[in-house]
Amino acid sequence: MDNHFDVIGSVLPKKDGIAKVTGKEIYASDVELPDMMHAVVLRSTVAHAEIKSIDTSEAEAMGAICLVPDDVPQVYYNERIVSIPEKTYRDRLVLPRKVRHYGEAIAAVAAETEEEAFAAMQKIKVEYKELPFYTDPLEANKPGAAPIYESVFLGENKFDVVNNVACERNITVGIFNCCPTCGTRFDYSCRLDEYHCGCGIVYTPAEDDGKAFDNAEVILEKEYDLSRVYHAQMETKSAVCRPEPEGGFTLWTTTQSIHNVRILLGEIFSIPLNKINVKRVALGGGFGSSIQMNSITPICTALALKARRPVKLVSSREEDMYDHHKYPAKFKFKIGATKDGKIVAGHLTVIVGIGGHNVQAYPLLGCMAGWYASLYKFPNLKFEGTAVYTNQAPCCAMQGYGNPQVNFAVESTIDMLAEELGMDPIELRLKNYVGLGDEFWGQGPTVKSTIKSCGVEEMLERGSKMIDWYERPQPGSGDGNVLRGVGLARGFHTSGTGGPKPGEVIDYSSASVKINEDGSVDIMTPIMDHGGGTWDAAVKIVSELLKVPYEMVSLSPTDTRTTGYDVNTHATRGVYCGCGAAYHVALKVKQELLTVAGQFLEEHPHDLDLIMDKESGQGVIVTKGLDCKRMTVGEVAAKARVLSMGTIAATGSYRQKNCPPCFVTNFVEVEVDKRTGQIRVVKSVTLGDCGTTINPDMLEGQLVGGLNRGIGYSTLEEASYDPKTGKLNCEGFYDSYKMTTAVEMPPLNKIETGFASTYEPTGPFGAKGLGEAAVNSIASAIANAVYNATGVRFTKLPITPAEVVAALKAKDEGRI
């Protein structure tokens, strides 16, 4: 392992930094084209209804181009196509004839200006037949509830929806897989609703816990309720579509996957992919909100194809709030352990309200099972997950894809278990964590691998010293109006979704690397950068490998026509998988460079070294042991051109065969004001395990950003609905949707970050991911700290001031 790098780990100017700070960076909303029309969307003002009629005559009389359901192909699709087709649920049309949530797009208008389009939209008349609606998954799931869907597609097969259940996932391990009478073991991966054992018993695993908890000397059962949250990314959704003369189109859109957008649009509009070009433009943050093809993208495309002119469609913030949310979840968690702290069994049940459309809820449930199974060692494990349709905005991945929700349930319970056992919470975690050499479920049970790098012990030890863990108060022991408490939680995320064998989720990336005639380098990659430094990491990795100075390596403007496929910048896979592909392609370029240089130096390529020359600041090929024989990278490329030997370049795709966990450990100190119920985080210690740190400054920013969103998730944010209308209670940031600002953050000198000294052998230069891991266990740490301060356990998020005041009053009165 060589930890000496020329570029990696250095703090260098961001490649897109100047463009962004000067306002020159181009986002989808910045694209302006000649003869372009502007579009707006008409959205439903009811939560659930059949559309009886849409009258656009007055709008059309104003010269507007109108789009209604009859104008678009009736092709059912799923916005997110990262799963294999047979595991992908399809329930969505570009424009529906049945409304399934308030704010759903039902028509669109294009005109010469946005103002004219909006005026025309107001003239459209819609007649509804309203239906019962549900904003609570438990109500929607009751027998006899009005159906939100009669049927949907799974792959190519149509199936009936019962009790508004979108999908289910049930997974068992250990004794849960065994017949309770004779002990015959079953295979969870082939799970049936009933097992017919040879001993004659018909066993339904979901009915009981069998013998799994027999050896448990302490058993805890708790329930948790996690809120629906808005992504609140900086950029709302935008799209610009230009029809092309040959029958295709060019598209600029807000997305985390240009290739998946192209594939979906090709399927919906029956246009060959070679006639569709999706441009890679900057992304103003995503947090998972653009993993899928956003709903306005096919609407904008359909308008452009109908108008035969370029069309631009930009969502307002209020519209964006009806686009996608974080999955809310209701958990029941049962855990059993021996008196010496060894976990023997766990049973986690979850109901997720997914909203009006299924955006990959089936892999979500698999991931939730993986987050649960890979945090601590459960010899006997049961997971039962149910995704239920509701009449709300559809939910999709957001910063952890179910991980913060599961982490909150597990890490809160682990703290309770430690108290029940009379053990320090750190000691209990160290006895049971899944770590080096253990089996790891990356994004669910179909993707299993072995952990090859782990900084859990190091981070728990370092963090405990940084926060003065062993000096914290006893729970609820403080006096006065402001109570102090210290809490701990740990978590992880995956670096991609790969494994030794491909699972349910598609995962590979492509890249091209080219050495120019002056020795500079171009990288062509379809990976998207959310702002966390993925593009800079690609540049640093290629620069390090080819020993070309950072300033001489650039990312080329690209699109779907000039790059190979990349599944998505999601699942914290940007550096490990996306940049991993650039790394492996650059290895081929390096070999070709040495081969060509060997011809010029009359040496075998194996006898050559590629080094960074400090004096000249260039990459130099030298003969091992004979430093006098050398050529710069630029000299080799230039001579190859003159001698017509070709360009030194390579293109390829690469699939990582692992998805190593990026671990995090969070310690927080809080103050709880008994009079107001306000919770304030006054100190934070966050340590991350990302292997080799490619961009240390931006990694620190990820950890601080995770703290910010975690504070909001645990104490402020909730996208709640009016149960009488099905409408969001907030109408933008100016209204009731509150988020963490600088005021709610700890002082800068009280925010400490650091990184474990690990090396991931399967990652580029030993690197793995970090992004989503930064937020996964913040809420858990805060809740544990609030308990330490108040002696009251909160199991519902967000923990609002009113709930704190009420709980402390109940405690004082002896009611809890």
What confidence score (pLDDT) does residue 36 get? Answer: 98
Helix ranges restricted to H, 2-105: 17-21, 57-61
For 402-425, what is each residue's pLDDT tens digit?
999 999 999 999 999 999 999 999
Residue 532 and residue 642 in one domain = yes
Residue 5 lies in a domain: no
For 363-384, what is each residue's pLDDT tens digit?
999 999 999 999 999 999 999 9
What confidence score (pLDDT) does residue 444 get? Answer: 87
Rounded mean pLDDT, 267-272: 98
Of 359, 299, 355, nearest in space to 101 by CA: 355
Residue 813 lies in a domain: yes
CATH of residue 225's domain is: 3.30.365.10
Residue 602 and residue 528 in one domain = yes
What confidence score (pLDDT) does residue 2 get? Answer: 47
**Any idea what the Cα angle at residue 424 is, between residues 422 and 428, rounded to 5°?**
95
Single residue among 298, 321, 344 that ends a domain in this structure: 321
CA dihedral for 614, 619, 624, 627, sign (positive or negative): negative
For 545-581, what is each residue's pLDDT tens digit?
999 999 999 999 999 999 999 999 999 999 999 999 9
CB neighbour list of residue 21: distance below 8 Å, 6 or more residues apart: none
Residue 141 lies in a domain: no
Q: How confident is the model at residue 291 (pLDDT cuts 50, 70, 90)?
A: very high
Q: How confident is the model at residue 522 (pLDDT cuts 50, 70, 90)?
A: very high
State yes or no: pLDDT of 733 exceeds 70: yes
Distance CA 694, CA 534 (A): 10
Do residues 445 and 370 touch, judged by C-beta distance below 8 A?
A: yes
Residue 643 and residue 710 in one domain = no
Residue 439 lies in a domain: no
Residue 149 lies in a domain: no
Residue 336 and residue 405 in one domain = yes
- Helices 778-790 and 403-421 sit at what angle, rounded to 10 degrees? 30
What confidence score (pLDDT) does residue 298 get? Answer: 98
Residue 144 lies in a domain: no
**Any idea what the Cα angle at residue 402 is, between residues 84 and 150, rounded to 5°?**
60
Residue 478 lies in a domain: yes
What confidence score (pLDDT) does residue 647 get? Answer: 98
Residue 111 and residue 182 in one domain = no
Share of residues in the chain with pLDDT > 90 (%): 90
Structure token pair of residue 319: 């519209």
Distance CA 424, CA 486 (A): 13
Which residue is associated with the tokens 């913030």? 317
Do residues 402 and 768 touch, judged by C-beta distance below 8 A?
A: no
Interior/surface letters 393-405, b for 16+ CB within 10 angstroms, e for the rest: bbbbbbbbbbbbb
What confidence score (pLDDT) does residue 195 get? Answer: 59
What confidence score (pLDDT) does residue 626 get? Answer: 78
What confidence score (pLDDT) does residue 183 get? Answer: 62
Least confident of 106-110, 144-148, 624-628, 673-677: 624-628
Rounded mean pLDDT, 38-65: 98
What confidence score (pLDDT) does residue 179 get? Answer: 66
Instruction: Give the mean pLDDT of the chain.
Output: 94
Rounded mean pLDDT, 495-515: 94
**Any idea what the Cα angle at residue 157 is, between residues 152 and 163, rounded to 5°?**
35
Residue 266 and residue 185 in one domain = no
What confidence score (pLDDT) does residue 503 get? Answer: 85
Residue 222 and residue 251 in one domain = no
What confidence score (pLDDT) does residue 283 get? Answer: 96
Of 281, 768, 785, nearest in space to 555 by CA: 281
Distance CA 30, CA 33 (A): 10
Distance CA 570, CA 391 (A): 27
For 67-125, what is each residue's pLDDT tens digit?
999 999 999 999 999 999 999 999 999 999 999 999 999 999 999 999 999 999 999 99
Task: Tell me the one-letter amino acid at 602.
Answer: E
Distance CA 366, CA 631 (A): 53
Q: Please, what's the largest Cα pairwise distance for the chain?
A: 90
More confident of the two residues 48 and 186: 48
Single residue among 406, 433, 460 that ends a domain in this structure: 433
Residue 99 and residue 244 in one domain = yes
What confidence score (pLDDT) does residue 207 get? Answer: 52
H helices then E strands: how many in the chain?
A: 18, 35
Residue 580 belongs to domain spanning = 17-24+508-654
Task: Give me the DSSP letters along 528-590.
Answer: ---SSSHHHHHHHHHHHHHT--GGGEEEPP-BTTTS-----S-TT-IIIIIHHHHHHHHHHHH
Residue 631 and residue 704 in one domain = no
Residue 244 and residue 104 in one domain = yes
Total domains in the chain come to 4
For 211-265, what is each residue's pLDDT tens digit?
899 999 999 999 999 999 999 999 999 999 999 999 999 999 999 999 999 999 9
Task: Give me the DSSP letters along 189-238.
Answer: GG--SSEE-TTS-EE-GGG--TTTTTT-SEEEEEEEEE--EE---SS--E
What confidence score (pLDDT) does residue 185 get? Answer: 62
Q: How confident is the model at residue 192 (pLDDT cuts 50, 70, 90)?
A: very low
SS3 assignment, position 429: helix
Residue 181 exposure: Cα atoms within 13 Å on the Cβ side: 10
Q: How confident is the model at residue 629 (pLDDT cuts 50, 70, 90)?
A: confident
Which residue is associated with the tokens 């018993």? 201
Residue 415 and residue 404 in one domain = yes
State yes or no: pLDDT of 210 exceeds 90: no
Share of residues in the chain with pLDDT > 70 (%): 95
Residue 147 lies in a domain: no
Residue 782 and residue 811 in one domain = yes
CB neighbour list of residue 252: distance below 8 Å, 6 or more residues apart: 28, 31, 238, 239, 240, 241, 278, 279, 281
Do residues 340 and 202 touch, judged by C-beta distance below 8 A?
A: no
Least confident of 208-222, 385-399, 482-496, 669-683: 208-222
Single residue among 303, 321, 339 that ends a domain in this structure: 321
For 772-783, what is each residue's pLDDT tens digit?
999 999 999 999
What confidence score (pLDDT) does residue 204 get? Answer: 61
